[in-house]
Amino acid sequence: MKIFRYLCLSLLLLALAPLAHADYLDRVVAAVNGAPILWSDVEQEVRIQALIEGTPPGEITLQKRNEALNRMIDAMLLSQQLREAHARVDEADEQQRMAKVTQELRRQRHAAASDAAWQKLLREYGLDQAALNEHLRQQVDVLEFVDLRFRAGAQATPHQINEYYNSVFIPAMKKRGAPVPSLASVEPKIQAVLLERNIDEAMGQWLKAIRSQANIWRAPPFDRMTTGRL
Amino acid sequence: MRAILRGIFVYLAMTTISAAVVLPAQEGSLATDPAQRPPSAPIINTGALNQIEGLVVSRIRMISDAPNAAQDKYHLDEERLLQHLTQKPGAKADPAKLRNDLRQLFASGKFTEISLDSLRSGEQVELTYHTLPQYFVGVIYMSGSPPHTSAARLIDSTKLQLGEPVTQTKLDFALQRIKRTLAENGWRQASVATQLQPNSDTQQEQISYQITRGRQARIGRVQFTGEAGQPESELLEISKLKTGDTVGGTTLTRAETRLRKKLQKDNRLEAQVTLTSQQYNPATNTVDYAFTVERGPKVDVSIAGAKLRKSKLKKFIPIYEENAVDTDLLNEGRRNLRDYFQTQGYFNVKVQYQQKLTPGRDDIVYTVDRGERHKIARVEITGNKYFDTQDLRERMAVQPADVLLRRGVFSQANLAHDVTAIENLYKANGFANVKVTSDIVDNYQGKEGDIDVVLHVDEGAQVRIAKLDLEGVAPGSANEVRNLLSDAEPGQPYSPADIASDRDTVLNYYYNHGFPKARFRSTSTPASGAPNRVDLTIRIEEGAQVFVDRTLLYGLRHTRRKTVDRTIQFADGEPLDQSAVLDTQRRLYDLGLFNEVDTAVQDPDGEMLYKNVLLHMQEARRYTFTYGLGFEAQTGLNNSNRCTKTVKNNCNPNGNFGFSPRVEFDVSRINLRGTDQSVTFKGNYGRLQKRALLTYTDPNTFNHPSLTFSASIFYDDTQDVLTFAARRLEGQLAVRQQWTKATSFQYRFAYRRVSVNSLNITPDQVPLFSLPVNVGMPGFTLVRDTRDDPLDSKKGTYNTADIALSSTAFGSHCTGSLISGQNEDLPNQCPDPSFSRLFFQNSTYFAFGKTNRQWVLARSISIGSESPFGYLGGLVPLAERFYAGGANSHRGFAINQAGPRDSTTGYPVGGAALFINSVELRTPPIGLPLVGNNLSAVLFNDLGNTYDTTGHMFSSLLRFSQPDKLACKTNQNAPCNFNYDSAAIGAGLRYRTPIGPVRVDLGYNLNAPLYHGFFPQTDANGIVTDVFGTRHTGRINVFFSIGQTF
């Protein structure tokens, strides 16, 4: 009788076994010079991006997640360079800039009126203020570092300004049918644009160089919405 | 607003950049290992971590998803890792902690992939980490490496480091580098296959490369373009690149060098030779090369206003070395010339240059206005209170004139250097505001050309430490760390240099106690209310302590593990001691069994607290054969004909010159029975010397590292002195004990048979000495050596004491008999070759003078005594007696010429006692052209002799002239007495080389002994005959040798 009871219990457990499946919670999806990036990091990144872009959370695609991971790998490389350079960011300035970005974001997303509305919006995206702050802090630090690293060497030469004025600015104004201002009146603005472009180019090349020297591993592109073992 | 836009800009810029640079990188650096990675990565349910928040964690476990995982070892690591997780079983699940744990586990370096899953049961959840193991670089094998491209070089080219994580990126780079190295050496058809053999137990991965090399490429077409000034055919000839020749590793660099040198020889210093393209043609297996050759202008450098050798000009003007002409180099040349003339005494020299560029020419003229020649009469330092003048002078390059430096040393560069050196010294001792200025006073004390250099030191206030805070040190080691800080104590001067030194000491302490990531930071702030005082804070970030998990040995084929284990200075489970690892490596090299010993920590950057230590050894060849054929030459050679009373044929007691062909053969066998024991045989055969030595050596005798046992058999047929040639067969057992670093003992027993032949003395004068004897001789030697450099000692002492006893009890006996007919009065029997032998040497070295120009007073005393005893009074055989004279002995005599001599032939017969006292004054380097600071001089005095008996030695110590000299000189039948101290003075030069100083000494004997003998004389017809007479030994003796005398 006892044996029969054990047998029944075993059969019952066997029958219930398929129902007790394991849920995957998180995993390492990339590593940059040994520093891991988790799936949950990617998920957070892609949601913050959606929040900034105004994309509804339900429309976050696999493509977006793959792009976010690539972007995070670059950001991680920059952060590591920042740490190696022992670059220090003024904390007060950092806080001020983060607050301004948050304020602008709230204004753009029509959630500036009340904190409650803003918190509700964050919850819709599965985020909280701390996660957003951390994200923005990293952005500000990297921006500061890039500024320090490249601005001094990224000069817009008179020749470049002239060339931009003649080959880009004038055709654009003519196309819009607007009167063409003199070079002297728009020179500071063109210089600023060119400066940013030169910084972009220098940073792009530099990033390419450090990426080629870095030890990067990433999981194959996300292409299915399933759970499973490694 | 701008800041916001920039914030967004960064965000957007990052997106743009990612798109721009990620795509190409995905092909290379983002490659994944298909063998280890799943085909695609799954998406995890969004917010899954949040869904388990607050549930009670019933269990946390770790599972390796790798096939064939070594579960026993794995569980050990699992336990260690799980202990350090922040999410504990029994606590409520916290997503932040779980994310943190996932990162920590990955940072351990043990895994390539980690994922976390959960199994929910009611309000409880079971967590499981799934892992794939990381493998680390193990032994690398390379097979099929082509000729002239060694396997070791190819392995080196992979840049894979023992113990570092294996990644696909690194493997790809390694493969590329191997192929590139092969291609550079002409093996362009080569294919390389990689095979990985992971060991799941050790997580080490053996990497094997198999090369299929194909045929070596050949040179195809070679083209030259550019303005070379020479036809292409000539360039081709200079480069020695011939179509059809094989392409080697140095083919191109040699060709480029040849072309460049040829053009530079023609003063085309700016000539450019560039390989613009190399095109490989697989069909023909040839490589076409294209060079651009630009010869540039002809550069002519001349000097006006002074004379300077061309070689010096090339040395001082760097355009010759750099093969470029620019303003910087020309100015550097100007400064070099100025400094050179200043060191010659032209302190006001002015050097200018003019460059004239014309088509095809670049003429550079340096104009030198030397001005008056000066002498540094005095160097004065004023204002110094904390350091005395001598301390400061020792750091200065500017020197006043003295006996060796006729004009002193001065140049603007030297003066600037001295000012900086003195300022740095003060700053290092807390004088942060020190100022040193210089004045140069010409015509010092009214003497034209004399210069007084005055350095004024304004010390300023000395900053001292008011308070020291030591932070971050574990309580257990706080005292130890505090003791390591040399002078960083309240009240002591605040010295950044001392703190930097303390930093190294403290970090070494941590590195040697298993804290590889220890950090040291120091900050100083002005102390409140105390001027010139600082509060010093030293903060130590200890980091995690790392322990040795296991010691993994690789590369042992013949060597026993036990032999290696003996050298390992760390143990499993103990803190990872960096110095012990290095010490182990040194000891492994010291075994002499390995060509290469690599040590590494597995995954040095990983966060695991227990790490494997890897020792990879490359065994040396066990057999080494050396053979050679050559000539041997020797001066002072024993005459082949006996020179006795009856036979007198060109005796020449000073010896002859002889040479002979010589064959050498050595063989050694190391790694005997898998240990560090070895057997070596060394032999050489020639007319002048026949020698064979077989030695067995066992270091670490009885497993004691300070004991070395050796057994040897030695055969020698040679001559040590002019008097005789000896044949010696000897066996010796010896144990050497290294008691301390400076002190060693040797215990030995030697048994030898020595027979004397080619005797040049009259046997009836010394009948007993010349008998063949067997000598059994136990002995003991004590050596204490505290010299700083055995080759060229400047300080320390060297002491030896050697005691030996020959007796019939140890097997000593005569094996021959007196030569019949020599002396009818003596019975035909032989005395015992029983004697005691004592020998002591004491040498000391004392350096004095300025630190950078030290003189050395060196002295040495040697005392030896042999006392015969036993049957018929005992006997000290001829070959066992003391001899003196020569480059490393008494320099008033030629080699072995001191002491008693045969009364008939005049040949030296050695003594039963020896006393030599030498004193040397060694100068600092003498700065001379061509030799620079490599030449120095010595003055010496050697005093002493060898004596008939020990008693005669002591009674003669204060006798400085030859006794009965008049009788010896006037009466050829009166025996000459040699029992006195012969003194020599002399001088020598030393030229510093890496193997010790090469030296030449000239000694003058102040009281050379007179002696009787046969001397060759040439009559009017040119016929040489030996005539009995009386002469002095040579008063002037010249010696060439390597190394200091003592």
Chain B interface mutation, best of A25, A47, A147, highest count of B Cβ atoms under 10 Å: A25
Contact A36 B113 (CB under 8 A): no
Residue B540 binned pLDDT confidence (cut-offs 50, 70, 90): very high
What is the structure's pLDDT at A105? 86
Closest-CA residue of A relative to B43 is A225
Q: Is the dihedral of CA B383, B386, B392, B394 positive or negative?
A: positive
Q: Check CB contact of A223 with chain B, cutoff 8 Å.
A: yes
Chain B interface mutation, best of A149, A217, A225, A227, highest count of B Cβ atoms under 10 Å: A217
Q: Distance between CA B99 and CA B663 in Å, rounded?
A: 76
pLDDT at A19 over 90: no
pLDDT at B658 over 80: no
Find out whether B723 and B878 touch, Cβ atoms under 8 Å. Answer: yes
Find out whether B734 and B770 touch, Cβ atoms under 8 Å. Answer: no
Q: Nearest CA to B667 among B677, B683, B681, B678?
A: B681
Buried b (16+ CB within 10 A) or exposed e, B220-252: bebebeeebbbeeeebbebbebeeeeebbbebb
Q: Check CB contact of A38 with chain B, cutoff 8 Å.
A: yes
Helices (H), B662-716: none
Helices (H), A85-128: 91-108, 115-124
Q: Check CB contact of A124 with chain B, cutoff 8 Å.
A: no
Cross-chain CB nearest to B43 (options A23, A196, A222): A222
Cross-chain CB nearest to A39 (options B4, B44, B169): B44
Residue B436 binned pLDDT confidence (cut-offs 50, 70, 90): very high
Find out whether B56 and B90 touch, Cβ atoms under 8 Å. Answer: yes
Residue keyed to tokens 């029975």: B673
Closest-CA residue of B relative to A230 is B38
The listed range with the strongest mean pLDDT (A147-156, B722-731, B970-979) is: B970-979
For residue A214, the chain B residues in CB contact (below 8 A) are 29
Contact B40 A100 (CB under 8 A): no
Q: Is the ipTM of this complex over 0.85?
A: no
Relative orientation angle of helices A115-124 and A129-150, to the nearest 10 degrees: 90
pLDDT at B825 over 90: no
Q: Check CB contact of A2 with chain B, cutoff 8 Å.
A: no
What is the structure's pLDDT at B18? 36
pLDDT digits (tens, 9 = 90+) for B597-623: 999 999 988 888 899 999 999 999 999
Strands (E), B101-241: 111-121, 124-133, 136-143, 191-199, 204-212, 218-225
3-state SS class at B93: coil
For residue B169, the chain A residues in CB contact (below 8 A) are 215-217
What is the structure's pLDDT at B420? 94
CA distance A141 to chain B (A): 10
Please give the model's pTM, rounded to 2 decimal places: 0.74
Contact A25 B117 (CB under 8 A): yes
Amino acid (one-letter) located at B603: D
Cross-chain CB nearest to A74 (options B14, B28, B41): B14
Q: Check CB contact of B96 with chain A, cutoff 8 Å.
A: no
Contact A75 B14 (CB under 8 A): yes
What is the structure's pLDDT at B562? 92
Residue B152 binned pLDDT confidence (cut-offs 50, 70, 90): very high
How large is the average pLDDT for residues B464-492? 87
Q: Check CB contact of A195 with chain B, cutoff 8 Å.
A: no
Find out whether A76 and A35 touch, Cβ atoms under 8 Å. Answer: yes
Contact B25 A126 (CB under 8 A): no
CA distance A60 to chain B (A): 11
Closest-CA residue of A relative to B126 is A22
The least confident of B44-53, B83-92, B974-983 is: B44-53
Find out whether B936 and B922 touch, Cβ atoms under 8 Å. Answer: yes
CA distance B181 to chain A (A): 20
Instruction: Please indicate whether residue A2 or residue B430 has the higher confidence score (pLDDT).
Output: B430
Chain A interface mutation, best of B116, B127, B130, B159, highest count of A Cβ atoms under 10 Å: B116
What is the structure's pLDDT at B909? 85
Give the count of Cβ contacts less than 8 A between chain A and B. 196
Q: Is the dihedral of CA B804, B805, B811, B812 positive or negative?
A: positive
CA distance A27 to chain B (A): 4
pLDDT digits (tens, 9 = 90+) for B36-46: 433 334 445 55
Find out whether B644 and B1026 touch, Cβ atoms under 8 Å. Answer: no
Cross-chain CB nearest to B21 (options A139, A211, A215): A211
For residue B47, the chain A residues in CB contact (below 8 A) are 126
Mean pLDDT, chain B, rounded, equals 85
Q: Distance between CA B647 and CA B636 in Å, rounded?
A: 20
Q: Check CB contact of A145 with chain B, cutoff 8 Å.
A: no
pLDDT digits (tens, 9 = 90+) for A152-198: 777 788 888 899 999 999 999 988 888 888 888 899 899 888 988 88
Q: Nearest CA to B1001 among B914, B890, B903, B897?
A: B890
